[in-house]
Amino acid sequence: MAIQLICLSDLHLGADHSVLTQLDGTQRASRSLSAFADAFSSLLEHLPVTKNTRLVLLGDVLDLGFSSLPDVVATFRVFAETFLSSRGGKKLSPDILFVPGNHDHQLWQTVKNTYMVRQVVEGMTQDPREITHLFNPQHLESYLLQDILKSVPGTRDCSVQIAYPNYAVLDDSGQKGVVLHHGHYTESMYLAMSALRQRLQGRLSLSEDMSEIEKDNGYWVNFLWSSLGSSGFGHTAFNMYETLLDTGASHEFIRASGKVIRKFMVESLSLSDNTVQSLEPGLSLEKIIDAMLDASVGKFAGSERLSFGSVLSRDGIVKLKWYLGGPVKNQFLQERVDVPKDLSFVFGHTHKPFEDRLPIPGFADPVKVFNTGGWAIDKPVVSSVQGAAAVFIDDNCDVGSLRLFNCSPNGEVTPPHIAGAGSLDDAERPLLRLLEDALSRSTEDWSKFSAAVSHDVQRNTSRVLDRYFDPASDTGVRIGRAV
């Protein structure tokens, strides 16, 4: 048995809320990144990895949405120097597989454009493709990333192949398989244009054609989530998002916006507080506007916070089922491959790692679902559902998760452990036994890793707290920071 694929996602390299990013101008790796490279190398000593074992970067590895391109490039170089060039990294295939997510969709957009140009130039007649094949995708390289890798001595011979949005492998029997996807298309927000089109066309359900979904949503996702950073507007946009995540700050923001809106209404609509008060004494225009903003913007901020109560919201589960039972199944059909009885699905995007099984209509067995979590910490209070995992896939298409860490609102992160999808027959899976064994042989490095992550998580949480609250000031409250 050999390991076929190792998946990591949501590193958010370049963003200062990523624990793997260190933006102090020193071009050094963060504590977490160094410790991760060390522990990962030790782990791989004890695993059957070969030059055929590929690293899969499952999206949002670069934070092109809210971070500047130079920061992103610099951080990715550090990642290449520290992680890809590590002992462990060197053991793996130099051909890296990259499945872009919403924050690095730009990588796919560039490759797709190049590909389209090539199609035109070479006079190919087929329609340009919005997506790659699910199985054996056409070999499309990311020159952008390869250029960066070439500049780092340890990764000079690496190549990066892009597959988007799904990549799948089957075992020899065809009875077992794994599908990889970053995860953004399992969330309603990223399907907004499809939903709009569905309503406009009066159709009963969303389009379940993968190409169509990408055509509807890829372009605006690309602009909003993976181009803004380079525009220089990214920092403003991200500050706004951070403001909204902080309840106190978002309220301050609401009050300030309320004043602007009131001014506008008074000046351009000749409305006055008297008009309102004549309707209901005690109410004023400003109060009404604030109340409306509380119930919309404030509520949004609250719901974002609340999403940290579980690994996947109810709507998230519904959409995940839809994605697997619809677009993914269709891709199997389109490529004339039978859906294997035993299917695993690996995704990230949510920053909340988990393993479970999920019954999907039209699939024989419940689908095994693995989430790779993420490395971004952008709120002052963290939740224990936040964390990251590395997902391992062997050549039998068995899947096991190395849960790297989970946060705790009380400080230290949890130590790593191995997890299967949770069925009774997990006990019979050799991959899980191997991973457990390898983990137990590298505990020393892993405890250093946990300490480093704990440190960086705290670094990030106090940074966010300090942004809106200054413990050393008289009252603590910082007024005016949110606006």
Question: Which whole-number Å values give the CA distances from 273 to 24, 61, 251, 284, 453, in the listed order?
Answer: 50, 51, 22, 5, 53
Rounded Cα distance between 224 and 236, Å, is: 13
Over its C-alpha atoms, the chain yields an Rg (Å, rounded) of 24
State both tokens at 92: 């793996």
CB of 385 to another protein, least distance (A): 6
Q: Who contacts 292 (Cβ-Cβ below 8 Å, separation ≥6)?
A: none
Nearer to another protein by Cβ, of 146 and 384: the residue is: 384
Residue 254 C-beta: closest distance to another protein, Å: 8
CA distance 425 to 369: 15
Nearer to another protein, 306 or 483 (CB): 306
Query: Given the complex with another protein, which of 375 and 469 has the nearer CB atom?
Result: 469
> Sheet of 354-358: strands edge to edge?
166-170, 176-181, 342-347, 367-371, 354-358
CB of 320 to another protein, least distance (A): 7
Tell me, what DSSP letter sits at residue 57? E
Nearer to another protein, 127 or 425 (CB): 425
- Nearest approach in angstroms of CB 449 to another protein is 21
Give the whole-angstrom CA distance, residue 53 versus residue 423. Answer: 26
* Nearest distance from C-beta of residue 301 to another protein, angstroms: 7
Tell me how far, at minimum, the Cβ of 3 lies from another protein, in Å. 23
Which residues contribute to the site for another protein (CB under 8 A)? 204, 246-248, 251, 254-255, 280-283, 287-288, 290-291, 294-295, 298-299, 301-302, 305-306, 309-312, 314, 316-317, 320, 341, 354, 356-359, 363-366, 369, 380-381, 383-385, 409-410, 419, 422-426, 465, 469, 471-472, 474-477
Nearer Cβ to another protein, position 126 or 410? 410
Rounded least distance, CB 435 to another protein, Å: 16
Which CB, 69 or 245, lies closer to another protein? 245
Query: Toward another protein, which CB reaches closer, 96 or 407?
Result: 407
Closest CA to 152 of 251, 71, 79: 79
CA-CA distance, 343 to 367, in Å (whole number)?
5
Tell me whether strands 54-57 and 3-8 are parallel, antiparallel or unpaired. Answer: parallel
Shortest Å, Cβ 308 to another protein: 8
For 375, phi then psi, to 5°, come to -120, 15
| CA–CA distance, 350 with 424 (Å, rounded to integer) | 27
Question: How many Cβ atoms from other residues are within 10 Å of residue 381's Cβ?
Answer: 12
Please say which residue, 123 or 309, places its beta carbon nearer to another protein: 309
